[in-house]
Amino acid sequence: MRIIVSIKQVPDSSEVRFDKETHTMIREGLPSIINPFDENAIEAALQLREEHGGQVIILCMGAPHAEEQLRQAVAMGADQAILLSDRRFALADTLATAYSLSTAIKKIGDYDLLLFGKQAIDGDTAQVGPGVAEMLGLPQITYVRKIQISDSKVIAQRVLEDGYEIVQATLPAVLTVVKEINEPRHASLRGVLKAKKVEISIWKPEDIDADPARIGKNGSPTDVIETFTPEPRGDSQQLSGTPEEIAQALFALLRQQNII
């Protein structure tokens, strides 16, 4: 099986510290990591390769230093890594990103399965996976927590708000995965040493015959006109006393505010 996993480099929010004065998160100078859901996607691909044989190819659109994350993916066991990196790809919204990725995927060609993480923890949109599926004309299954492949078909468990459904599609297909699907492996030491030497292909718009009008800022219908930090919550009130006293006080406060 040829599996392409699309990953994104994101800031490591677990390193975020909380500014106690302003009640906001201090975001400066965060290290970069592979988007956690994409790690689940990589692991899913590696497990499928273990079961069915084949190749795992990692694709990433990002800044040049995203190469670090691609090497991490190779250290986990991926066979090949491709980075779409060029100023013209930058500032893309989800539509332009989906276009860039799907054009690259067409160039890679001959794939059986496309895996994405559910969403990126910085953008939180969950739109790129379905967007790529649409542009490649492929079936999509989102929120996948279990994958079974047999006879060119995929049978997946898709998580719903109140349970799950079992969905079938013919390959090639696009799947976006949730974290319950697996526990991503660490890089093995052999993988680490291999990843240092592996050549990461860097592709520019010319390499994938991308339409300049559809990539980057040009290809982005949405426009961020402002960013701001949300209103801080304000100081908290301590409730103290015996448990019974606290319970009475809390009840009164909640009743007063029409919560109960």
Q: Closest Cα to residue 98, out of 33, 176, 160, 45?
A: 176
Looking at the Cβ atoms of 95 and 114, the one nearer to other proteins is: 95
- Nearest-approach distance from CB 7 to other proteins, in angstroms: 16
- Nearest-approach distance from CB 150 to other proteins, in angstroms: 13
- Nearest-approach distance from CB 14 to other proteins, in angstroms: 6
- Nearest-approach distance from CB 198 to other proteins, in angstroms: 13
- Nearest-approach distance from CB 84 to other proteins, in angstroms: 15
> What tokens does 102 get?
């799907």
Torsion angle of the four alpha carbons 94, 225, 14, 176, in this order, in degrees rounded to the nearest 10: -20
Looking at the Cβ atoms of 48 and 86, the one nearer to other proteins is: 86
- Nearest-approach distance from CB 188 to other proteins, in angstroms: 5
Looking at the Cβ atoms of 80 and 220, the one nearer to other proteins is: 220
- Nearest-approach distance from CB 217 to other proteins, in angstroms: 8
113: left (phi over 0), alpha (psi -120 to 50) or beta: beta
> How distant is the alpha carbon of residue 194 from its chain centre?
24
Contact 168, 127 (CB under 8 A): no
Looking at the Cβ atoms of 93 and 208, the one nearer to other proteins is: 93
Contact 112, 3 (CB under 8 A): yes
The Cα–Cα gap between 138 and 111 comes to 12
What distances in angstroms separate CA 33 from CA 17, 67, 257, one per listed residue?
A: 17, 11, 42
The radius of gyration of the chain's CA atoms, rounded to the nearest angstrom, is: 22
Give me the phi and psi of 62, to 5 degrees please: -175, -175
What distances in angstroms separate CA 244 from CA 70, 212, 237, 255, one per listed residue?
A: 56, 67, 18, 16
Looking at the Cβ atoms of 80 and 102, the one nearer to other proteins is: 102
In the chain, the amino acid numbered 163 is G
The Cα–Cα gap between 198 and 194 comes to 6
